[in-house]
Structure 1
Amino acid sequence: MSVSLPRPEIAHARTSDAATDAVTPGAAIPSATLGAATPSAAAPDAAAKLAALRARLQELGSVLVCYSGGIDSAFVLAVATVELGERAIGMTAVSPSLAESERLDAQRLAAELGAQHRLVESHEIERAGYVKNDPDRCFHCKTELYEIAEAKRVEWQLGWVLNGTNVSDLGDYRPGLEAAKHAGALSPLVELGFTKADVRAAAKLLGMRIWDKPAAACLSSRIPYGTEVTRERLAQVGAFEAALRELGFKQLRVRWHERIARIELALSELPRLAEPGVREQAVLAGQRAGFTYITLDLAGYRTGSHNEVLPSRRLPLLG
């Protein structure tokens, strides 16, 4: 199904042009819009965990899902839409740290799901702790997110704020999880023991086309700890990543190191960047984005590579 959407005006508490009528609660997710279901590929307990998630959402009654467009939050929103209909709303926070491609993808997917979807502005860039970019940066960003979500939950007369955190997220250094705990946000996938593999298997069981979508972190994660996050630096990284995607690269990160751009690609895509025509276009794109030196990280793509320099991934967040 091809969905063509105009760019909506971003407004506090306004339903975006991507929002569509919710499906009937308890109905099957329409395979025509989500793709062909392949239950045989699901993990053995995916169906059981999916049933438990359905029951948990019915128990909650009405929810605001902090929805980024990634597979985890999209999965929660999809099931919530089926079970709760208009009593489930996906909220996407738009700021300079959200790549334009991610915003558009989130809107398209919400429309395909038939989900209620609203865009709100977030202002983490105005928080000193976020701009300072210490290792607890995500705590300040997520604090902003959950404060907005709680205000919208009350305004939209919903019962609970949910996120898409799963059990696999608990192993890395993720200060945003501390913010969720402080805010009282619920993590139903953690409650029910969903790993990342379980989420993908259950999403595939439902026929969701993004069941294998690569992880996507906000643009501020491309800037080394201790280097201030600015609108200009976020725009620089976002522009170069968008150009690389236009060249056909799928799983990538551009890490910001002042005049140097460090490109991380999936190992399977590394040889293609070395092709003369592609290499020249990539270099020009990086220079247009404001970098002087364009480098390739031979270790390839991995999430949280800036965390590799931390002495411990479980640093204390609060005194």
Structure 2
Amino acid sequence: MIDKKLDALRERLRQLESVVVCYSGGLDSGFTLAVAHEQLGHHAVGLTAAGPALAPRERDDAIAFARQIGADHEMVDAGEIGVADYVANGPDRCFHCKSALYVAAERYRQQRGFRHVINGTNLDDLGDYRPGLEAAKRANIVSPLVDVGFTKSEVREAARLLGLRLWDKPAAACLASRIPYGTAVTSKRLSQIAGFEAELRDLGFRVVRVRHHDTIARIEVGEDELAAMADPTTRQRVHDAGKRYGFSYVTLDLGAYRVGSHNEVLDGRRLRTVT
């Protein structure tokens, strides 16, 4: 089954002839870049938006993976931090961020003579509230994983089959997704989140989100990692790290990590109001 889908993906990418891959360094876009490079060689390039919402560790890993597979790779500043609607951080923040990325990618495509801009969206991404999908639609971005019917689990399986080291990499949404809707996205807040999350990973936590609530850090870790937070030494080190990054209170979300937890405050696509 997975072999047939891989063959279909390879054929789809050959049909596109030359592509700019919007590449964050995560599993989906990394897998897409790897197969595009396999099929198209120098007619495929990964393009990474290296703004403040990309954690330094993720940026470095994106560079290292592209180098490992031999793919062409470029970094650009999409300038989203200068977009007022992105900074305002409404429920449509992702639309404005992705729109800035796709403008930069389209500019790059035209300058370098590539035929298409593509992304790593898979079928499972079509479920949760993701305004970035609308940005992709408006920008005529091609989603080859969707075209041939890849789910997230199938992307992992195929990446493992190809021997790609990121096959089991946890999801890593941009840092702005850690800031509640209505709280401005600033370089300072993004830096706080990036630094604190890096220290938590150094402590051995694989699935980590630091949700920024002004003076409060609400930490989400994988359900199987919750118990590790109860260790007195670990708890103290986590607390001290949070203080170093400017948080007055460091809390643990007992609900554990879940995709889009900030979306839980939405009523449809709007913020819930209390009367």
Bin of the TM-score, shorter chain as denominator length: over 0.9
Query: How many residues in Structure 1 have an aligned counterpart in Structure 2?
Result: 271
CA distance in 2, matches of 1:313, 1:216: 22
Offset, 1:236: 1.0
- Structure-2 residue corresponding to 1:12: none
Match 2:68 to one of 112, 117, 123: 112
Offset, 1:274: 1.3
Under a length normalisation based on structure 2, what TM-score does the superposition of the two structures give?
0.97
CA distance in 2, matches of 1:247, 1:207: 27
- Structure-1 residue corresponding to 2:220: 264
Offset, 1:313: 5.0
Under a length normalisation based on structure 1, what TM-score does the superposition of the two structures give?
0.83
- Structure-2 residue corresponding to 1:98: 54
- Contact 1:173 1:314 (C-alpha < 8 Å) held by counterparts: no
Match 1:297 to one of 238, 248, 253: 253
Q: Is 1:308 paired with 2:249?
A: no
CA distance in 2, matches of 1:272, 1:203: 29
- Structure-2 residue corresponding to 1:283: 239
SS of match in other structure, 1:211? helix
Q: Is 1:181 paired with 2:137?
A: yes
Where has structure 1 moved over 2 Å in runs of 4 or more? Answer: none
- Structure-2 residue corresponding to 1:213: 169
- Structure-2 residue corresponding to 1:82: 38
- Contact 2:91 2:269 (C-alpha < 8 Å) held by counterparts: no
- Structure-2 residue corresponding to 1:133: 89
Match 1:158 to one of 104, 114, 119: 114
Report which of the two has the higher share of helix. 2
**Residue type of the alignment partner of 1:136:** D
CA distance in 2, matches of 1:314, 1:196: 27
SS of match in other structure, 1:64? strand
- Output the aligned Cα RMSD: 1.1
Offset, 1:267: 1.2
SS of match in other structure, 1:172? coil
Match 2:148 to one of 169, 192, 215: 192
CA deviation profile, 1:37-63 (whole Å, cap 9, x unmatched): xxxxxxxx2111110111111111100
306-315 or 287-296: bigger deviation: 306-315
CA distance in 1, matches of 2:269, 2:164: 33
CA distance in 1, matches of 2:157, 2:202: 29
SS of match in other structure, 2:190? helix
**Residue type of the alignment partner of 2:136:** A
Q: Is 1:254 paired with 2:206?
A: no
**Residue type of the alignment partner of 2:26:** G
**Residue type of the alignment partner of 2:168:** D
SS of match in other structure, 1:264? strand
- Structure-2 residue corresponding to 1:145: 101
CA distance in 2, matches of 1:90, 1:313: 32
CA distance in 2, matches of 1:246, 1:213: 16
- Structure-2 residue corresponding to 1:243: 199
Offset, 1:243: 1.1
Unmatched 5+ stretches in structure 1: 1-44
- Contact 2:91 2:270 (C-alpha < 8 Å) held by counterparts: no
CA distance in 1, matches of 2:149, 2:180: 32
CA distance in 2, matches of 1:80, 1:71: 14
- Contact 2:217 2:250 (C-alpha < 8 Å) held by counterparts: yes
Offset, 1:246: 1.3
